[in-house]
Amino acid sequence: MKMELIFIPSPGEGHIRPLVEVAKLLVDRDDHLSITILIIPQMLGFSSGSASYISSLSSASEDRLRYHVLSVADQPNSDDSKPNFLAYIDSFGPEVIATSKKLIDPAQLAGFVVDMFCTSMIDAANELGVPSYMFFTSNATFLGLQVHIQYLNDVKNYDVSDLKDSDTTELEIPTLTRPLPVKCFPSVMLNKEWLHKIFSQTRRFKDTKGILVNTFAELEPKAMKYFSGGDHSLPPVYTVGPVMNLKINSPTSADDKQSEILQWLDEQPCKSVVFLCFGSMGSFREDQAREIAIALERSGHRFVWSLRRAQPPGTMGPPEEFTNLEEILPEGFLERTAEIGKIIGWAPQSAILAKPAVGGFVSHCGWNSTLESLWFGIPIATWPLYAEQQVNAFEMVDELGLAVEIRNSFRLGFMAVESELMTAEEIESGINCLMEQDSDVRNRVKEISEKSHVALMDGGSSHVALLKFIQDVTKNIS
């Protein structure tokens, strides 16, 4: 029996890429399954990297895996001067319905798989008379946090945003073995306006038939024990990760700087290089860049540093390149470190992490980056910036012992808010701890790396969960 699923990722590389990889896994596992991915354009337009990726997807459409970029919808009227990300996604509902009717045989449509920020698309699936499933791009621990704070609000009348101004310093979370410090809560959960938007999203989770999570059972045993029990209101949770595309970051022949760095890494001793990279939106002011440079030079370690410029306060948009590094870095830094360090703007992250010379990763702790680092057996020094990254950092350092801490409570400024400054002393200390060769953290990362590979093999936990998901999709339409 032929079945077709419609996948709807939210705008942004960190959400589109893993959902595409899940789709590839599914069509590889079942010859009767086809998937159409409906891509919502980013609010501020695709960055050059995103645009080329989207273009490559569109040209890669085939019989059982198709990609369709939606047209930019009319913007909802709003008196709010700040762009509303969720309202923007919601505005594509009518086009999703119309496109689905046009592209898919109704008799074969088995359901929608929507991104964690696209829960409004459950209504589109309902209108088409098919079930919905959700893809949670973060980890099972954070899923548990979201569900728990919504439960506290709806059942216990407890608003966690009040923690910001209270004497309480931590909160028990059912997917963690130890309390989560309030300083590690995502900023949006400590903001009343945004917290209630999160509640609206989280309440829709139970309207789905199942939740796919980009993790593997062996990585988050406490969280999976919670979800396998009955003390929550969620549908089945399927751990299908680590979901990554390890080919997309390979440079083309035109990327001379990237090719040069990869070749340079081939010439360096094993585990001697620290790699600093902060995701698709990670960027810094000039004063922070100088502190990082001072720390790198003092540490004496070889390095590859992905460095990009933050937008001016009060503006939004993707990071940009620094036009003249000599003007912002300490005088003589580039000359003194020419033999031991390389600086690049956008970096081919997975290609760099795959190099044997890389011994540590200073990361913003985005979940995709965290999974890549574990996959390659590279320990992380945590420098979270925004979103749920502080929670990820706490989980990696305190819960699982798979990372070292620079500062887990660091918060990047947003719009008119001025960001904190991380000192050279803090950064240097974190780098030196990260690069210890026989540390317990490094040994634990090696063990979990092996488990991440096994999880995706035939009979592995994630492979079994993916097959169970296919079985349940089939059952829900039969």
pLDDT score of 417? 44
Report the candidate in 227, 274, 246 with the shortest Cα–Cα distance to residue 453.
246
pLDDT score of 253? 46
pLDDT score of 274? 98
CA 95/CA 89 separation, integer angstroms: 11
> Yes or no: is domain 256-452 CATH 3.75.10.10?
no
Dihedral-angle region of residue 12 (phi above 0 means left; psi in -120 to 50 means alpha; beta otherwise): left
CA 227/CA 374 separation, integer angstroms: 23
Is-above-0.85 flag for pTM? yes
Answer whether 3-156+203-245+455-477 and 256-452 agree in fold: yes
CATH superfamily of 3-156+203-245+455-477: Glycogen Phosphorylase B; (3.40.50.2000)
Domain ranges of the chain: 3-156+203-245+455-477, 256-452
In this structure, are residues 223 and 175 in contact, taking their beta carbons and an 8 Å threshold? yes
pLDDT score of 49? 60
According to DSSP, the β-strands at 302-306 and 211-213 are unpaired
- Distances in Å between the Cα of 133 and the Cα atoms of 5, 65, 93, 477 are 10, 18, 16, 13
- Per-residue confidence in pLDDT tens, the chain, 478 aa: 899 999 999 998 889 999 999 999 999 999 999 999 999 998 765 555 667 777 788 777 888 999 999 997 555 554 444 458 889 999 999 999 999 999 999 999 999 999 999 999 999 999 999 999 999 999 999 999 999 999 999 999 999 999 999 999 999 999 999 999 999 999 999 999 999 999 999 999 999 999 999 999 999 999 999 999 877 789 999 999 999 987 644 555 447 889 999 999 999 999 999 999 998 888 899 999 999 999 999 999 999 999 999 877 767 677 888 989 999 999 999 999 999 999 999 899 999 999 999 999 999 999 999 999 999 999 999 999 989 999 999 999 999 999 999 988 776 654 334 568 999 999 999 999 999 999 999 999 999 999 999 999 999 999 999 999 999 999 998 7
- Distances in Å between the Cα of 182 and the Cα atoms of 186, 187, 192, 385, 416 are 9, 10, 15, 15, 23
pLDDT score of 221? 97
Structure tokens at 241: 């990760």
